[in-house]
Amino acid sequence: MGYINTRQCLDALEARGELVRIDTAVDARIEVGAIQRRVFLAGGPALLFTNVKGCRFPMAANIYGTRERMHFIFRDTIATVRRLMKLKLNPMEALRHPLRYLGAPRTAWHTLPRSVGTGPVMEHETTISALPQLVSWPMDGGGYVTLPQVYTESPDNPGYAGSNMGMYRVQLTGNDFLPDREVGLHYQIHRGIGHHHAQALAKGQPLRVNVFVGGPPAMTLAAVMPLPEGLAELFFAGAMAGHRIPMVSREGGLPIPAQADFCICGMVMPGEQKPEGPFGDHLGYYSLTHDFPVMRVDRVFHRSDAIWPFTTVGRPPQEDTVFGEFIHEMTAELVPSVFSGVHEVHAVDAAGVHPLLLAVGSERYVPYAQDRQPQELLTNAMSLLGNTQTSLSKYVVIAAREDMEPGLSCHDIPAFFGHMLRRVDLTRDLHFITRTTMDTLDYSGISLNQGSKLVLAAAGSPRRTLAAELPSGLDLPRGFRNARVFAPGIMVLKGPAHRRKRDQQDPAFDRLGEILSQVRGIEGFPLIVVADDAGFTAKDWDNFLWVTFTRSDPATDIYGAGAFTNAKHWGATLAVVIDARLKTYHAPPLAPDPEVERRVDALGAPGGPLHGII
């Protein structure tokens, strides 16, 4: 059976030597977040901060910081839940291998929450200002909940079956929020809570919201799980927990997990919004201040031995990277059943997840053709852009499985890029979608939630040899310099500082494309990236992916050598040029506080609690 609450889970990790207690006084502002990030990057243990300055509640971090730890926490249920998912994919499996699925009915029973009259979470009440006020980055707007389980129920279909539980940002303090009476509720587009909020607005009534913190680890996992619409996360939590989740029923209010550490209860009133942010986000930049719904706080409950679990986010990899990898393990076999014709997907963590999606699909529309071209692949790509969280992808790069060497996967990023760049027809295979919906955290577009997408699909035989050395006689226009080969077929340049306004292209790049088109051998570099710092960008794949795909909007920032437009179709005869400079309107990148980093260094010095870990 899975762990029923946070403390039970931490005790088990400590017994395994996978938890370190830090009794040194630490500050929830900047310091604990910096410690968590350093320990995560070192592959270190979970952390329990027992002495948080100005707060009586201990804080726990890095609980899910390694793949091995995730598997340990969910060791009792992961195999059964994966079999249950496979059974949904192919019920005949149960008839072929009945012994493998003996636990499936019991797991299905665990999905049903169990109503109880009370529980540990109801033992005490507190205030918002008494909670740990985690501030992860220097410019953050206030204290935040970073591992919340935000629970709502459909006003049109109340009850567990119509519930949603997501991990949406909750700002506890700062800005114009009334102390102890209001918190900010930042939910991005394409989230289940949005449907509930729309229903409440249509009825002209408040939307009740409960924010759970802690409790069974399965609840945290369920809150980030990209489940199909209509499948309640609470049901998935029961399956992963290995027991029915006990929920305290409250007259006139939403239910509360009996074993949660904390619960903030309140409601979002129709039409009430206030500025929320800024906040360091998982793309590696600050998401800036924007108006989001306000949650009026009614009660704040907590258990006697409450622990405040938290994480911090920033440029990948971070702890949420491990969640993503774990989710991929759980759902990889379901991809073909959700996206017809798609065999594999990879939302690239190093690029911030939503900015870049790599995929492998089928190209079977014209099997008798001597050489394939993307046709079914485009249907595959539109399916990816029309369903679940993959719909937020900005760049979709999709290859035909029929052309791939045995063993090649879109998770092997260098090999996959090489495969695509050898085959892509730059005059035909770039398909833009403009003025469309974008990820809320992506500031590369023309406005909040609005930008463009690019589908790059390649099928058929190789059409070029990728160059590994710069062309001789490469003479760049003024302001462009430091050309270097990043990988076969990929060149990186340093460009001048960006000076244009939002939603404007840069004529200097048109000139660059004209000059490049005259360079003999430039066709060996079908992808050219211009950045502020060519050395940093070309240092490794993580840097290249992060700079290229978080700092560019396809419609605004793609140019070409031999560029043309024909009947509204854009292409390039020789090379695609991506403007990946920081723009005047971009959010600033995250940067650590040097003084705090020095304090963290001291914790890792001989005699410090993190000596030998960081």
Verify that 381 and 504 share a domain, yes or no. no
Preceding amide of 278 cis, omega within 30: yes
Q: Please, how many CA atoms are within 13 Å of residue 268, restricted to the half-sphere of its CB? A: 29
Question: Do residues 165 and 151 touch, judged by C-beta distance below 8 A?
Answer: yes
> What pLDDT was estimated at residue 117?
94
Verify that 298 and 324 share a domain, yes or no. no
For residue 220, what is the domain's CATH number? 2.30.110.10
Establish if 236 belongs to a structural domain. yes
Establish if 209 belongs to a structural domain. yes
Verify that 449 and 516 share a domain, yes or no. no
Establish if 464 belongs to a structural domain. no
Q: How far apart are CA 429 and CA 571, in angstroms?
A: 8
Verify that 19 and 148 share a domain, yes or no. yes
> What pLDDT was estimated at residue 513?
97
Verify that 528 and 412 share a domain, yes or no. no
> What pLDDT was estimated at residue 94?
45
Could you list the beta-strand ranges (E) of 58-206: 59-61, 114-116, 124-125, 144-145, 148-153, 163-166, 169-171, 182-186
Tell me the Ramachandran region of residue 241: left when phi exceeds 0, alpha when psi lies from -120 to 50, beta otherwise: alpha
Distances (CA, A) of 613 to 45, 607, 609: 8, 12, 9
Distances (CA, A) of 301 to 49, 50, 112, 599: 21, 20, 24, 33
Q: What single DSSP character describes residue 2?
A: -
Establish if 106 belongs to a structural domain. no
Residue stretches of the chain with pLDDT short of 50: 89, 91-92, 94-95, 99, 101
Please give the structure tokens belonging to residue 415: 């090999």
Domain termination residue (choose one: 310, 335, 363): 310
Please give the structure tokens belonging to residue 208: 């009740």
Place of tokens 């990899």: 317
Strand partners, 152: 164
> What pLDDT was estimated at residue 411?
96
Verify that 276 and 343 share a domain, yes or no. no
Domain termination residue (choose one: 267, 286, 310): 310
Verify that 538 and 491 share a domain, yes or no. yes
Q: How far apart are CA 524 and CA 422, in angstroms?
A: 9
Establish if 472 belongs to a structural domain. no
Q: Looking at the 3D structure of the chain, how many domains does it have?
A: 3
Q: How far apart are CA 421 and CA 113, in angstroms?
A: 50
Q: What is the DSSP string of 559-602?
A: EEEEEEEETTEEEEEEEEEEE-SPPTTSPPBP---HHHHHHHHH
Contacts of 552 (CB under 8 A, 6+ apart): 444, 558, 578, 579, 580
Domain termination residue (choose one: 310, 333, 353): 310
Count of positions (residues) in the chain: 614
Verify that 232 and 325 share a domain, yes or no. no
Establish if 604 belongs to a structural domain. no
> What pLDDT was estimated at residue 103?
61
Full residue range of the structural domain in which residue 230 is found: 6-73+111-310
Q: What single DSSP character describes residue 185?
A: E
Verify that 440 and 499 share a domain, yes or no. no
> What pLDDT was estimated at residue 87?
55
Q: How far apart are CA 229 and CA 84, in angstroms?
A: 18
Establish if 295 belongs to a structural domain. yes
Enumerate the H helices of 332-367 as residue ranges.
Answer: 335-338
For residue 345, what is the domain's CATH number? 3.40.1670.10
> What pLDDT was estimated at residue 91?
47
Verify that 448 and 486 share a domain, yes or no. no
Q: How far apart are CA 490 and CA 531, in angstroms?
A: 13
Q: How far apart are CA 135 and CA 26, in angstroms?
A: 12
In three-state secondary structure terms, 550 is: helix
Q: How far apart are CA 87 and CA 453, in angstroms?
A: 35
At position 210, the amino acid (one-letter code) is N
Verify that 212 and 262 share a domain, yes or no. yes
Establish if 613 belongs to a structural domain. no
Verify that 566 and 432 share a domain, yes or no. no
Question: Do residues 430 and 576 touch, judged by C-beta distance below 8 A?
Answer: yes
Question: Do residues 200 and 270 touch, judged by C-beta distance below 8 A?
Answer: yes
Place of tokens 């070192």: 42
Q: What single DSSP character describes residue 504?
A: -
- Per-residue pLDDT of 365-417, as tens digits, reads 888 777 889 999 999 999 999 887 898 999 999 999 999 999 999 999 999 99
Counting runs of H as helices and runs of E as strands, what totals does the chain give?
A: 18, 28
Please give the structure tokens belonging to residue 10: 């931490």
